């Protein structure tokens, strides 16, 4: 009885969670230009528009991809030495540095966005696409930092001792023990940053200064004119990408462990 | 880091050490520059002054803060317009975060009792909806709650509207601002704003509660059951006390997250009930173009957020120490 009740509750939660997504997916099939649900005259015309014919969306999608891949790569490259420092030394300075590096992710993004807008204006490169990449890398630095730290902590100290006893240098130990064992965690961190960067728009709004737009920023900019089914196509694409990415993380990594589940109980 | 320090560390730590202090310094400087300078600039510029029709200049004036707390014309005239926006930001965020944690808690508890494989599947779904942009979530709820389609139409077609009118509940809904003379309406209303906000953070709530609940020792609950405690008793005397601090900590984190939400408020909240985050945007890039005042409002938001984050950190530390 209690079990059934539990299952019903979980199913209901899942349904509510899926509801807006289902509605948006339905609305993307609209033949006309108004967001109706259930869709009117359903066809795939809006998909063709989004991916091929409307340059505004094609360009926005290209920018989204450039910023997401660029910033996720940069975030992992910045997070690696920091996580390593934190793990190897655990000094007070490295802890403070990791804390400060996570600030942008923890505080309201609108405040960080406004600040970045001021900062890049002083530097004189507001509106350049590399500024968008660097800004997102900073915003999402906390994610690879956390996953890589979890990875480093999972390394068996016995392997390190064995490597040291057999006379491996620091570089060799790093290449043969540390790097392979933390690779899945680095990739997970990369994907978390990638997906969140793909979806972020407030910080992007302030640092792009209307010089270019990513997909979510483009939608945000046309918010006051209301939503159109073409934007719903973007939503369908984004949710598909997220599910694909996290399924990959679950398939090749240990998702429950990454999320902090207890290792000893399987 | 001096050479003496690093050799000392090398002797004590069992793991490989970095031998290039300059690299560490460069990394530190880079991270400080990227992650901290923006916040410092916001704080410094909040003391600046607007130049009519041009932009702003450096200054040290408290006028922006005075305008925020008591209005620009103080002491002749006092307005609490900006404080009221902060109040609405806090109000929406408190209810939405408590609601999210209250419903995510039983869900997460049930989730952690599933098989590892089922947990992975649910986590993929939850992470996907967690990372979904606020613009898309608002888009979905916008369709669901708008008057021409979605729920109001469902009410009309299914006859629920007529039923509400017959039973008198319709008048109650009208008083709450959830109905127009003909049918129920959810846009714009506090209900829609809080519902969407709490949907927005619900997956975060699951992810935040997941570690604490999955580490819950099942032998504790089993022992309590063996000694004859009912399910309610087990929940209130065994489970809840163990996860009390993570529960409060998560609520605080979600609350801080929601303080900055923008699109939800713009689309779903009544014009008179907008929040500070919206006002920041309006000042910096919107119609009024007053960067120093926007910065001052951002600082107020920042300080509020930081206070609650410190509190959350403190609670997390305490729960880890036990």
How far is residue B261's CA from residue B213's CA, in Å, rounded to a whole number?
28
Confidence of residue B264 (pLDDT cuts 50, 70, 90): very high
- The answer on pLDDT for B9 being more than 70 is no
Which CA distances in Å does B27 have to A104, A126, B22, B322? 17, 23, 9, 35
Q: Where does residue A222 rank: exposed (0-12), middle (13-18), buried (19+ CB within 10 A)?
A: middle
| Residue, of B21 and B69, whose pLDDT is higher | B69
Minimum-distance CB partner of A108 among B110, B143, B260: B260
Q: How far is A88 from chain B (nearest CA, A)?
A: 6
How far is residue A127's CA from residue A131's CA, in Å, rounded to a whole number?
7
Check CB contact of B289 with chain A, cutoff 8 Å. no
Q: Which tokens go with B231?
A: 């399910």
Q: How far is A263 from chain B (nearest CA, A)?
A: 9
Beta strands in chain B (DSSP E): 49-51, 55-57
Interchain pair A81, B285: CB under 8 A: no
- The answer on pLDDT for B10 being more than 60 is no
Given phi > 0 = left and psi -120 to 50 = alpha, else beta, which region is A44?
Answer: alpha
Kind and range of the H or E run holding B151: helix B151-158
Minimum-distance CB partner of A37 among B28, B137, B150: B150
How far is residue A224's CA from residue A204's CA, in Å, rounded to a whole number?
18
Check CB contact of A130 with chain B, cutoff 8 Å. no
Confidence at residue B43, expressed as pLDDT on a 0 to 100 scale: 93
DSSP B246-259: HHHHHHHHHHHHHH
Q: Which residues 53-82 of A are in CB contact (within 8 Å) with B?
A: 78, 81-82
Confidence of residue B4 (pLDDT cuts 50, 70, 90): very low
Confidence at residue B94, expressed as pLDDT on a 0 to 100 scale: 94
**How far does CA A88 lie from the centroid of its chain?**
27
Check CB contact of B107 with chain A, cutoff 8 Å. yes
DSSP-derived 3-state class of residue B206: helix
Interchain pair B1, A232: CB under 8 A: no
Q: Which residues 263-282 of B are in CB contact (within 8 Å) with A?
A: 263, 266-267, 277, 280-281
Interchain pair B260, A205: CB under 8 A: no
Confidence at residue B12, expressed as pLDDT on a 0 to 100 scale: 39
**How far does CA B35 lie from the centroid of its chain?**
20
Q: How far is B122 from chain A (nearest CA, A)?
A: 9
Residues B140, B195: contact at Cβ < 8 Å?
no
Q: How far is B76 from chain A (nearest CA, A)?
A: 31
How far is residue B68's CA from residue B83's CA, in Å, rounded to a whole number?
7
What is the torsion angle, in degrees rounded to the nearest 10, for the CA atoms of residue B239, residue B115, residue B254 and residue A79? 120
- CB atoms under 10 Å from CB of B312, counted, come to 22
Confidence of residue B195 (pLDDT cuts 50, 70, 90): very high
* Residue B49: φ, ψ to 5°: -130, 140
Confidence at residue A68, expressed as pLDDT on a 0 to 100 scale: 95
Q: How far is B245 from chain A (nearest CA, A)?
A: 16
In the beta sheet, which residues pair with residue B56?
A: B50
How far is residue B50's CA from residue B146's CA, in Å, rounded to a whole number?
40
Minimum-distance CB partner of A85 among B24, B150, B259: B24
Which CA distances in Å does A30 have to A46, A232, B147, B157? 8, 10, 18, 21
Confidence at residue B272, expressed as pLDDT on a 0 to 100 scale: 86
Interchain pair A107, B309: CB under 8 A: yes
Q: Which residues of B are less than 8 Å from A30 in CB distance?
A: none
Q: How far is A128 from chain B (nearest CA, A)?
A: 16
Q: What is the mean pLDDT of residues B18-45?
A: 86
Which CA distances in Å does B35 have to A112, A136, A141, B306? 9, 11, 9, 15
What is chain A's pLDDT, residue by residue, as a tens digit (266 residues)? Answer: 667 888 899 999 999 999 999 988 888 888 777 777 777 778 888 888 888 888 889 999 999 999 999 999 999 999 999 999 888 887 888 888 888 999 999 898 999 999 999 999 989 888 899 999 999 999 999 999 988 998 888 888 888 888 888 888 888 888 888 888 888 889 889 988 998 998 999 999 999 888 899 999 999 888 777 888 888 899 999 999 889 988 988 887 778 878 877 655 44
Going by C-alpha positions, the residue among A116, A103, A230 that lies closest to residue B37 is: A116
Confidence of residue B155 (pLDDT cuts 50, 70, 90): confident
B272-306 pLDDT tens trace? 889 999 889 888 886 667 888 999 999 999 999 99
B102-137 pLDDT tens trace? 999 999 999 988 888 888 899 999 999 888 999 999
Determine which of B7, B14, B31, B56 to mutate to test the interface with A (most A C-beta atoms within 10 Å).
B31
Check CB contact of A32 with chain B, cutoff 8 Å. no
How far is residue A32's CA from residue A27's CA, in Å, rounded to a whole number?
10
Confidence at residue B287, expressed as pLDDT on a 0 to 100 scale: 64
How far is residue B115's CA from residue B131's CA, in Å, rounded to a whole number?
24
Minimum-distance CB partner of B298 among A16, A110, A235: A110
- The answer on pLDDT for B34 being more than 80 is yes
Q: What is the mean pLDDT of residues B230-235?
A: 80
Q: Which tokens go with B238?
A: 């065994």
Q: Which residues 228-247 of A are in CB contact (within 8 Å) with B?
A: 231-232, 234-235, 238-239, 242-243, 246-247
Residue of A nearest to B281 (CA): A110
Interchain pair B30, A199: CB under 8 A: no
Minimum-distance CB partner of A88 among B16, B127, B207: B16
Confidence at residue B100, expressed as pLDDT on a 0 to 100 scale: 95
Contacts of B121 (CB under 8 A, 6+ apart): A250
Confidence at residue A179, expressed as pLDDT on a 0 to 100 scale: 86
Pure H helices in chain A: 2-27, 45-48, 55-88, 92-106, 109-123, 129-139, 142-153, 157-165, 170-173, 179-199, 202-208, 215-221, 229-252, 255-258
Q: Which residues 68-97 of B are in CB contact (within 8 Å) with A?
A: none
Q: How far is B268 from chain A (nearest CA, A)?
A: 12
Q: Which tokens go with B61?
A: 């004036």
Q: Which residues 141-180 of A are in CB contact (within 8 Å) with B?
A: 141, 157, 160-161, 170, 173-174, 178
Interchain pair A23, B39: CB under 8 A: no
Residue of B nearest to A109 (CA): B260
What is the rounded radius of gyration, in angstroms, for the C-alpha atoms of chain A? 22
Confidence at residue B243, expressed as pLDDT on a 0 to 100 scale: 83
Residues B263, A223: contact at Cβ < 8 Å?
yes
Interchain pair B125, A17: CB under 8 A: yes
∠ CA(B188), CA(B194), CA(B198), 5° rounding? Answer: 140
Interchain pair B103, A13: CB under 8 A: yes
Check CB contact of B243 with chain A, cutoff 8 Å. no
**pTM of the full predicted structure?**
0.86
Buried b (16+ CB within 10 A) or exposed e, A170-191: beebeeebbeeebebbbbbbbb
Going by C-alpha positions, the residue among A213, A46, A52, A48 that lies closest to residue A127 is: A213
A39-97 pLDDT tens trace? 777 888 888 888 888 888 999 999 999 999 999 999 999 999 999 988 888 788 888 88
Going by C-alpha positions, the residue among B66, B62, B63, B68 that lies closest to residue B81 is: B68
Q: Which residues of A are less than 8 Å from B112 in CB distance?
A: 261
DSSP code for A39: P
């Amino acid at each position: 009885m209690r079990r059934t009740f539990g299952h019903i509750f979980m199913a209901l939660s899942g349904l509510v969670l899926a509801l807006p997504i289902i509605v948006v997916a339905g609305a993307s099939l609209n033949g006309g230009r108004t967001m109706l649900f259930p869709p009117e005259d359903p066809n795939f015309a809006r998909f063709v528009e989004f991916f091929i014919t409307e340059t505004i969306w094609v360009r926005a999608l290209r920018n989204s991809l450039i910023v997401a891949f660029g910033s996720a790569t940069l975030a992992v490259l910045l997070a690696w030495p920091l996580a390593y420092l934190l793990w190897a030394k655990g000094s007070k300075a490295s802890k403070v540095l990791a804390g400060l590096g996570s600030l942008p992710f923890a505080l309201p993004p609108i405040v960080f966005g406004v600040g970045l807008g001021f900062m890049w204006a002083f530097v004189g490169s507001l509106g350049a696409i590399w500024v968008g990449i660097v800004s997102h890398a900073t915003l999402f630095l906390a994610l690879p930092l956390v996953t890589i730290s979890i990875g480093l902590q999972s390394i068996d100290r016995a392997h390190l001792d064995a490597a040291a006893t057999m006379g491996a240098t620091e570089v060799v130990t790093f290449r043969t023990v540390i790097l392979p064992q933390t690779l899945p965690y680095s990739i997970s961190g990369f994907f978390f940053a990638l997906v969140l960067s793909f979806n972020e728009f407030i910080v992007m709004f302030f640092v792009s200064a209307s010089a270019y737009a990513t997909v979510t920023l483009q939608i945000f900019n046309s918010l006051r004119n209301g939503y159109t089914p073409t934007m719903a196509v973007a939503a369908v694409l984004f949710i598909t990408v997220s599910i694909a990415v996290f399924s990959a993380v679950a398939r090749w990594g240990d998702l429950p462990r990454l999320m902090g589940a207890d290792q000893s109980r399987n | 880091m001096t050479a003496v320090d690093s050799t000392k560390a090398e002797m004590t730590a069992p793991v490989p050490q970095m031998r290039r202090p300059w690299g560490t310094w460069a990394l530190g400087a880079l991270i400080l520059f990227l992650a901290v300078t923006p916040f410092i600039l916001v704080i410094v510029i909040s003391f600046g002054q607007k130049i009519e029709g041009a932009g702003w200049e450096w200054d040290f004036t408290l006028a922006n803060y005075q305008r925020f707390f008591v209005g620009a014309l103080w002491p002749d005239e006092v307005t609490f317009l900006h404080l009221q926006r902060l109040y609405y930001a806090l109000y929406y965020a408190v209810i939405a975060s408590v609601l999210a944690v209250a419903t995510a808690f039983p869900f997460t508890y049930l989730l952690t009792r599933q098989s590892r494989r089922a947990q992975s599947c649910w986590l993929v779904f939850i992470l996907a909806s967690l990372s979904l942009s606020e613009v898309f979530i608002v888009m979905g709820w916008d369709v669901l709650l708008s008057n021409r389609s979605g729920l109001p139409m469902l009410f009309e077609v299914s006859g629920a509207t007529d039923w509400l009118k017959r039973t008198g509940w319709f008048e109650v809904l009208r008083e709450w601002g959830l109905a127009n003379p003909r049918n129920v309406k959810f846009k714009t209303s506090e209900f829609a704003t809080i519902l969407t906000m709490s949907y927005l953070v619900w997956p975060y709530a699951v992810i935040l509660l997941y570690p604490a609940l999955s580490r819950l020792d099942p032998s504790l609950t089993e022992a309590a059951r063996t000694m004859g405690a009912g399910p309610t008793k087990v929940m209130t005397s065994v489970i809840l006390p163990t996860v009390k601090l993570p529960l409060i900590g998560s609520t605080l984190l979600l609350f801080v997250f929601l303080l900055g939400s923008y699109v939800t408020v713009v689309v779903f909240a009544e014009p008179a009930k907008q929040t500070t985050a919206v006002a920041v945007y309006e000042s910096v890039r919107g119609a009024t173009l007053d960067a120093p005042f926007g910065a001052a409002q951002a600082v107020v938001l920042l300080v509020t957020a930081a206070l609650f984050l410190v509190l959350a950190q403190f609670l997390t530390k305490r729960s880890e120490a036990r």
